Amino acid sequence: MDKHEHKHYHSPEVKKKELNRLSRTIGHLEKVKRMIENDEDCADVLIQLSACRGALNSLGKEIINEHMEHCIAHAIEDGDVGMLESFKEAVEKFY
């Protein structure tokens, strides 16, 4: 099987949690934008950027874990080797 056929399903609770985290991160990025526009201290901007990066990394790790626990488990049950390869490539790009 070249192309994975597995359908993705994520619980509404998990999606809500992930979207809330992403919304907070977007808020942080908007703050960084305002800081730059207002010529605020570069050290403070870097600290805010670091917080954004940390939040994105945490969200990415949550998505990886969720995918492994549910989607990958189902793909293995279905014999969907293509999904395993595409997920491996995505994880390598994430890190």
Give the HSE-up count for residue 9: Cα atoms under 13 Å, Cβ half-sphere.
7
Between 75 and 90, the higher pLDDT residue: 90
DSSP 22-56: HHHHHHHHHHHHHHHHTT--HHHHHHHHHHHHHHH
**Could you report the per-residue pLDDT of 20-44, keeping only the tens digit for each?**
999 999 999 999 999 999 999 999 9
The predicted model scores a pTM of 0.75
Residue 19 has pLDDT above 50, yes or no: yes
